[in-house]
Structure 1
Amino acid sequence: MDSRVKDVADVRTAFLFDMVVDLEKPVSMGAGPFGRRILFGSAGGTFEGPRLRGDVLKGGGDWSLFRPDGTMLLDVRLTLRTDDGAAVYMTYGGRWVAPPPDAERVDPSEYYFRTNPLFETGDERYAWLNDVVCVGSGYLVEGGVAYRVSEVL
């Protein structure tokens, strides 16, 4: 083994919040050179955890790319509004590997749907979010999509 490799602590996480995003009717851009692009626009939603909670604002979305093998590549941008008025920009990529056709009825543990959220805000009360890397596990819900988001410690 390379002598520069060091033993570091395992990655640990802590629950940050649960989020439900209501979706608009999808807009297909058709099959392009990289796959089939579809916009899943945000119609709103909510998020709640021990340190922050509030609403997902309308107007964001997921500019998803479906590869020929069925895997969806996420490209999401959302605006969150905390219950005390802070605006937080949330962005994430991720993978939903070969989602089953009836994914709404399939247990989320049966498929791979993971994200890597990052945040940006100018509100001092939530400035700590600017330096946080997160991971999320996604699943379908009626009318949208939901995530459990955890901070990487």
Structure 2
Amino acid sequence: MTRHSSLKELPAALQTLEAEPIFVLRLSVKPIIVVGETPAANRRIGVVVSGSVEGEKISASVLEGSSDLLAVRSDGSTTLDARLILKTDDDVHISMTYYGIRQMSDEVKKRMDKGQEVDPASYYFRIAPTFEAPQGKYQWLNNILAVGVGHRLSTGPVYSVFEIK
């Protein structure tokens, strides 16, 4: 075997990823707070006022006080660093953190900034959530790797979140 083996030479389990949907996350965000240019990036802050998590194994509200630190980089992409507090329908609190990236063409950005509807397939918007849940019904969240596909609406983002199997 050479140093750089091809993917096809690996066991089948290493050739693909399987994902299973776990929930849809919707966030309602106050108007963005613009900090402006900093040494690191053009910093913006999204304060989450509410939201919802809807899935087969979990339903929850997103509590006020959650936030998303946005950094618009010199290449035009935006990185996300969010901290959410979830309260399940059966009163369990779960911490959800996600990092992500959103990249779009100038044309898509202009349309979005004008409040026009854009096709979610016309830009890249992905997150990588992690969770901290107490022992019990939701502790399975502590031991999964999740990814999400997002879409930015005028009221805030919506994400489809999947567990990587």
Q: TM-score range by the shorter chain?
A: over 0.9
Which residue of 1 is the match for residue 138 of structure 2?
126
| Map of 1:56 onto structure 2 | 62
Give the whole-Å Cα distance in 1 for the aligned partners of 2:94 and 2:148: 17
Aligned pair 1:2/2:11, yes or no? Answer: no
Q: Which structure 1 residue ranges, 5 or more long, are not aligned?
A: none
Give, as a single letter, the amino acid of the residue that structure 2 aligns with 1:130: N
Larger Rg: 2
1: distance between equivalents of 2:110 and 2:88? 34
Question: Displacement, 1:144?
Answer: 1.1
2:48 aligned to which of 26, 29, 42: 42
Q: Letter of the aligned partner of 1:22 in structure 2? A: S
Q: Percent identity?
A: 31
Please state whether the residue corresponding to 1:102 is helix, strand or coil: helix
Matched, 1:138 2:150: yes
Alignment counterpart, residue 69 of structure 1, candidates 66, 70, 75: 75
**2:127 alignment partner AA:** T
CA contact (8 A) 1:37 1:66 kept: yes
User: For residues 36 and 50 of structure 2, what CA distance do their matches in structure 1 show?
Assistant: 25
Contact 1:29–1:36 (Cα < 8 Å) also in 2? yes
1:102 is displaced (CA, Å) by 2.1
**How much has 1:124 moved relative to structure 2?**
1.3
Q: Tell me how many residue pairs correspond in the alignment.
A: 153
Q: 1:112 aligns with which of 101, 124, 146?
A: 124
Compute the TM-score of the two structures, normalised by the length of structure 2: 0.86
Q: Does residue 1:84 correspond to 2:93, yes or no?
A: no
Distance 2:80 2:155 in 1: 18
**AA at the equivalent of 1:26:** I
When normalised by structure 1's length, the TM-score is 0.93
SS of corresponding position for 1:10? coil
Q: CA RMSD in A?
A: 1.7
Higher helix share: 2
Q: Structure 2 matches for 1:89-100, cutoff 5 A? A: 89-98=95-104, 100=109
Segments of 5+ residues of structure 2 without an aligned counterpart are none
